[in-house]
Amino acid sequence: MASIAPSRRTLILASTSPYRRELLARLRLPFSVIAPGVDETPLPGETPPALALRLARAKARAISQAHPGALVIGSDQVATLGDSPIGKPGDFGRALEQLRAMRGRTVTFHTAVAIDDGQRQASDTVLTRCTLRTLSDAALRAYLHAEQPYDTAGSAKAEALGIALMERIDSDDPTALIGLPLIALTRMLATFGMDPLDAPDGAQA
């Protein structure tokens, strides 16, 4: 007698990021996307890694409370240069300032991911260290005009032309830099009974 596939739990990505949506789609699990609406203001004295982890957990919890039984994924990323956080530049001028400050130095990206089903929560944080080449202002301007990465913390999209700015990238989870650590996430999903390799191919909900 053929075995009956177990019923699949609803999977929700608590994010408005198109990058995280594209990454999660790689796992070929059906999922929906809901904006978490979480205040991302840092708490007084909060460190960048603590901020990333708190926000990832808060995003997952915010949606899981309204969708009992669903597996909700939350993620957040904070980049730091030395002890200072680096945000999204928003425009060309601020992006150029960021890249000038970063050239020849190492930027650390703290990428946190959490899963919440309303009863329990799992979370993890992945560090990615990016060392930038020492490039001229002309090269930095050429990159910014070509890619316009103004919605990206650190002003460089390593998954695209921004890789040309890099001297090296060190991480245990290569997709963490883009915004969602899929190795950590797959491991965590398995603890909730959802493994992409056990499921038939699914289309994104």
Decide if 88 is inside a domain.
Answer: yes
Query: Cα separation of 34 and 36, whole Å?
Result: 6
Beta strands in the chain (DSSP E): 11-14, 32-33, 71-81, 84-86, 106-116, 121-132, 166-171
Q: Which residues are catalytic?
A: 76
Q: Is residue 3 part of a domain?
A: no
Number of domains composing the chain: 1
Does 18 reside within a domain?
A: yes
| Full pLDDT tens readout for the chain, 205 residues | 333 333 468 999 999 899 999 999 999 999 999 999 999 899 999 999 999 999 999 999 999 999 988 999 999 999 999 988 998 999 999 999 999 999 999 999 999 999 999 999 999 999 999 999 999 999 999 999 999 999 988 999 998 999 999 999 999 999 999 999 999 999 999 999 999 998 554 444 4
Residue 173 falls within a domain, yes or no?
yes
pTM (2 d.p.): 0.87
- On whether residue 174 sits in a domain, the answer given is yes
Instruction: Give the count of beta carbons closer than 10 Å to the beta carbon of residue 154.
Output: 26
| 5, part of any domain | no
Structural domain of 150: 11-197
In a domain, 29, yes or no: yes
In a domain, 139, yes or no: yes
Question: CATH number of the domain that 92 lies in?
Answer: 3.90.950.10
